[in-house]
Structure 1
Amino acid sequence: MKFLENSKLEAINSALTIENGDCCVIGRLESYSCKMAGDDKRLFKTLSHEGDPNELTVLSPPQTMMSSIRENPLNYACSRKTLYYLISTLNASFRPDYDFSNAKSDEFSREPSVNYVSNFINSSLGAVLGERYNRWDIAGGLSSLLWTTINEEINLDDCHVYSYNPDLDSDPYGDEGCLWSFNFFLYNRRMKRILFFTCKAQSSSLDDKSIHEDPIDEFEFESFNTNL
């Protein structure tokens, strides 16, 4: 997977590192081209040995809604090739600390729609950040800037959305003090591109060494809006 630089995504990522009371939010958006590099080719070859790359593999029920027991499981399936893209994206985003090459299909879900996922994300971030995330003023709130930037990068109308929902042993956010986390993949097949949105809320009572930036204040937020 080839990482695609985007200054607007970098600005959003800075705004998504926020301390609010007793909780810290750490999020990032990364855009990748579905172009195989050396390690990707080896992983794809391994997965191809397990079956036809175009063969469907069943995923777990969606993270963002309760799934009916009677529902056709193929409604939430993907091809082995798509699964390879998802695993390769995780490897690219979290390397060298984590290796997801052995991740299984039941650790992933195909979400029902972009709308379900956007509501889930807005609810999660809004509950922690409150007005900082939800407000609608002259400059626009972080929520509106977030989704405008995402749409410009990936064209949401043409996307399928997948999520990664590992067990505690495989979870990169399985550390003590993590209140919640999510990992979503916005996959635009026509563009051959994946936008990866990963985020966690961490208790501020613990010393989280992953936070390197000062909490965003009102002045910084206004400057961020102006720069975009």
Structure 2
Amino acid sequence: RGIILKRVSREGQPTFLPIHFTTSRTTIIVLSFWMKFLEISDFETISRGLSFEAQDCRVSGKCELYTTKAAGVDKKLYKQLERHLEARMQETLALARSLSPDDTSKNIAKSPFGPLDLISSRRTFVYLVATLNASHPDHDFSILQPFDFRKERNLKIVMNTFNTTLFNLGRGKQLQAMWDLIDHHVELLNCDIYSYYPDGDSDPHGGDGLIWSATYFFFNKHLKRVLYLSLRGLSKNATHEDEESVDGDNWGAQYSEEDMVGVMEV
């Protein structure tokens, strides 16, 4: 996943340092504090509706909204952190190029976030990692690499995939209401969409009887918002923390037709 740099210690023994296109754990953790969680009742309702008992598994879902916008004294500290991040990334890229220029150039160009020598691409990657850290504070995601994510090019396919999963689990009603609520807050057509399919080591719930999982990020750069949407299938034999659930078919019941965003054409 990274380029291995060989360094000779004072004792003459070689040590190996992994060179990744990531930043330090401290930087990720600090950035997590700027991924401010927006407490919105719509998403609390959706999250409860995504947690239920299915026939063959226990389903647990999350729908959370975060903002990347810093204000006041936070803004000044955030700018300092961005400069620190930029310096670290440039040093890493320069070292990687010196060791393996051809491979590094290919990896930079093929990143799901765009060319990694652009700060905007690296910043998006860090936002997603920081979102994961903010949503799962007991798990460290700083080891993730840009290629652990995938850029989704088609909103309709993402929606259909998510809908089909829920439909097959017996929760097929009012899904349009769910997407309308999400669209109202993040403007889905203006979002960059990324998916994340972790392995057992990097999944915060990998040891909790995890059967399958699907995780999406909807990033609206203009609104400075990241929507985190995840769905997991867990073994009924595993021990889990109690989670409140509601009837997912009632997601849109409390909203009038005028309150809802119209059916999107994608």
Report the TM-score, using the length of structure 2 for normalisation.
0.65
- Change over 3 Å in CA distance of 1:43–1:114 after alignment to 2: farther
Aligned counterpart, 1:195: 227
Equivalent residue letter for 2:196: Y
> 163-172 or 38-47: which moved more?
38-47
Identity %: 34
In 2: Cα distance, 1:20 partner to 1:42 partner: 47
- 2:236 aligned to which of 199, 204, 207: 204
Shift of 1:222: 6.3
Q: How does 1:62-141 map to 2 (within 5 A)?
A: 74=110, 76-78=112-114, 79-95=121-137, 97-128=138-169, 130=170, 133-134=171-172, 141=173
Confirm whether residue 148 of structure 1 aligns to residue 180 of structure 2: yes
Aligned counterpart, 1:67: none
> 154-163 or 31-40: which moved more?
31-40
Question: Matched residue pairs, number?
Answer: 195
Shift of 1:176: 4.7
Q: How does 1:176-195 map to 2 (within 5 A)?
A: 176-195=208-227
Q: Specify the SS of the correspondent of 1:29.
A: strand
- Change over 3 Å in CA distance of 1:41–1:178 after alignment to 2: farther
Equivalent residue letter for 2:112: Y
- Change over 3 Å in CA distance of 1:121–1:221 after alignment to 2: closer
Equivalent residue letter for 2:125: L
Equivalent residue letter for 2:36: K
Aligned counterpart, 1:16: 50
Shift of 1:41: 7.1
In 2: Cα distance, 1:163 partner to 1:197 partner: 10
- Change over 3 Å in CA distance of 1:84–1:183 after alignment to 2: same
In 2: Cα distance, 1:86 partner to 1:222 partner: 29
In 2: Cα distance, 1:222 partner to 1:167 partner: 31
In 1: Cα distance, 2:81 partner to 2:149 partner: 17
- Change over 3 Å in CA distance of 1:22–1:189 after alignment to 2: same
- Change over 3 Å in CA distance of 1:221–1:31 after alignment to 2: closer
Shift of 1:106: 1.6
Aligned counterpart, 2:38: 4
Equivalent residue letter for 1:49: A
- Change over 3 Å in CA distance of 1:91–1:221 after alignment to 2: closer
- Change over 3 Å in CA distance of 1:120–1:226 after alignment to 2: closer
- Change over 3 Å in CA distance of 1:41–1:29 after alignment to 2: farther
In 2: Cα distance, 1:42 partner to 1:10 partner: 34
In 2: Cα distance, 1:174 partner to 1:42 partner: 35
Confirm whether residue 226 of structure 1 aligns to residue 253 of structure 2: yes
In 2: Cα distance, 1:222 partner to 1:76 partner: 35
Aligned counterpart, 2:106: none
In 1: Cα distance, 2:166 partner to 2:78 partner: 32
Confirm whether residue 157 of structure 1 aligns to residue 183 of structure 2: no
Aligned counterpart, 1:49: 87
Any stretches of 5+ residues in structure 2 without a counterpart? 1-34, 94-108, 115-120, 256-266
> Conserved in 1, the CA contact under 8 Å of 2:193 and 2:219?
yes
Aligned Cα RMSD in Å?
2.7
- 1:29 aligned to which of 63, 67, 91: 63
Which has more radius of gyration?
2
Q: Specify the SS of the correspondent of 2:193.
A: strand
Q: How does 1:163-182 map to 2 (within 5 A)?
A: 163-182=195-214
- Change over 3 Å in CA distance of 1:221–1:28 after alignment to 2: closer
Any stretches of 5+ residues in structure 1 without a counterpart? 56-72, 135-140
